[in-house]
Amino acid sequence: MPLWLIPTFYAVASIAAGFLLPRLEINLLTARLEMSISSAQAYLSAVASGMMALTGIVFSIAFVLVQFNAVVYSPRLVIWFARDRLLFHSLGMFVATFMYSLATLAWVDRQDGQGVPFLSAAIVAAMLVASVLMLAQLVQRLNNLQIMRVLQELGDTGRSVIASTYAGLPWSTSEQAAPRQQQFEEYALTVKHIGNPQSVIAIDIAKLVEHARQVNGLVVMECAVGDTLLEDTAILHANVANSVAFKRRLVSCIHMGDQRTFEQDPKYAIRLLVDVAIKALSPAINDPTTAVQAIDQIEDLLRRLAKHDLDACRAFDRDGVLRVIYQMPTWEDYLALAFDEIRQFGSTSIQVMRRLRSALVELAGCISSERAKGVHTYLEHLDSGIERSSFDPEDRAAARIEDRQGLGLSHRLEGDAEASTRPAEPARWLGS
């Protein structure tokens, strides 16, 4: 549902209630509020005028804080903050309280009203309390824009996306034997993107498998989740007869939008964490501690990704016939995305180098040997960069000590110059 419909619903509901409830109250209820007419009018007027002023002040502060934090962290976080549903529910409640207060005020001391409507005045009071509670929640959300909470929220989102994306592909594999399906060198049907540039936000692999099974065909995806499609960009190929109806069915499985989202895209969570880290490492900010905290979340996401079959990019139907070939990031892709830019922009920070070494050493120690080879290769690349850096010999030696805090507690074994390049074994640790 579009988010703008949320405050619209509140506004429409309050207008409808303002027309109906006072009339029903006059005809069905005899109870009236024991309050003078002037006091009731002052009460309702204060609520109405106060709610509009509060709405303007609160949302001005909210948008300023969102803009400020998006500039400090990453411009891609603007949409993430601005799409918070609580923001829209708060706006809707504030507007609804304002409108219903005005509607109730119109029924005070009317000829057929005989005083102050009791039920309507009570509803206004209840809506005022609800608005205050929403305001408190909104202020709490603004407090969540602190850097640690932003990083934690990005990490939590990434963990959720990883679990849902890879757990949702039980019929995909990279290890199944050669499929009972003839391979075609040329594809009769090609689907291309027509229109303005859009991002691929999700691909319904299950439906693609079903459509391909119905025509006994094979679908090969040319795009992946997160790609931006331009005019005439190839989306997919299929070895079936060129059919407009079948094209439409295939296109309906590719969900596109103006903005990249987290859905089916673990890379996006890592991308935002890397954005925060390299923004903190910019000369204008010089905050390597924030980069270290971002690496904490990135390392955890990589550990979780390493538990999944990242090479699963072939989908089979229930008979074991290959139906869809699609694109997924490899372990090397995730590794480069997670560390390349941080390594480049943090090359002058001993703190960042030490945290990167710690992440790579510990990551190599908790994953399969095949993927650990790639981590060790990356670790050698990192060390060669340290050797080529402008650090003096003492700083180079310090930068090669893995340290989960950056500059807090070195995890090098006493008397072992090679310990920093391999997973540590139980031993006595030294403080930095």
d(CA 107, CA 115) in angstroms, rounded, equals: 9
d(CA 147, CA 287) in angstroms, rounded, equals: 11
For the segment 205-233, what is each residue's pLDDT rounded down to a tens digit?
Answer: 999 999 999 999 999 999 999 999 999 99
Q: What is the mean pLDDT of residues 74-99?
A: 83
Domain boundaries, the chain: 5-145, 169-255, 263-307+326-421
pTM comes to: 0.78
d(CA 67, CA 64) in angstroms, rounded, equals: 5
User: Nearest Cα to 309, choosing from 323, 329, 326, 325?
Assistant: 329
**Between residues 15 and 78, which one has the greater pLDDT?**
15
Which pLDDT score is estimated for 272? 93
Q: What is the mean pLDDT of residues 86-105?
A: 89
pLDDT at 10 over 90: yes
Name every residue whose Cβ is closer than 8 Å to that of residue 124 and which is 6 or more positions away in sequence. 44, 47, 97, 100, 101, 104
Which pLDDT score is estimated for 83? 75
For the segment 365-412, what is each residue's pLDDT rounded down to a tens digit?
Answer: 988 888 999 999 999 999 999 999 889 999 999 999 988 888 887 755
pLDDT at 182 over 50: no
238: helix, coil or strand?
A: strand
Which pLDDT score is estimated for 178? 39
- What crossing angle do the helices spanning 266-280 and 331-345 adopt, rounded to 10°? 10
pLDDT at 43 over 80: yes
The pLDDT > 70 percentage for the chain reads: 86
Name every residue whose Cβ is closer than 8 Å to that of residue 230 and which is 6 or more positions away in sequence. 193, 197
d(CA 218, CA 238) in angstroms, rounded, equals: 6
Q: What is the mean pLDDT of residues 344-373?
A: 92
pLDDT at 340 over 80: yes
Contact 379, 386 (CB under 8 A): no
**Mean pLDDT score of the chain, rounded to an integer?**
83
Tell the burial category of 154 from Cβ atoms under 10 Å away from its Cβ (0-12, 13-18, 19+). Answer: buried
- The pair of three-digit structure tokens given for residue 36, joined into one six-digit string: 């003078």
| pLDDT-wise least confident of 77-86, 90-99, 197-206 | 77-86
d(CA 22, CA 121) in angstroms, rounded, equals: 10
For the segment 232-274, what is each residue's pLDDT rounded down to a tens digit?
Answer: 999 999 988 888 888 999 999 999 998 888 888 999 999 999 9
**Between residues 319 and 112, which one has the greater pLDDT?**
319
Alpha carbons within 13 angstroms on the beta-carbon side of residue 272 total 28
Which pLDDT score is estimated for 357? 94
For the segment 279-330, what is each residue's pLDDT rounded down to a tens digit?
Answer: 999 988 889 999 999 999 999 999 999 988 888 788 998 888 899 999 999 9
What is 169-255's CATH number, 3.40.50.9100, 3.40.640.10, 1.20.140.150, 3.90.1170.30?
3.90.1170.30
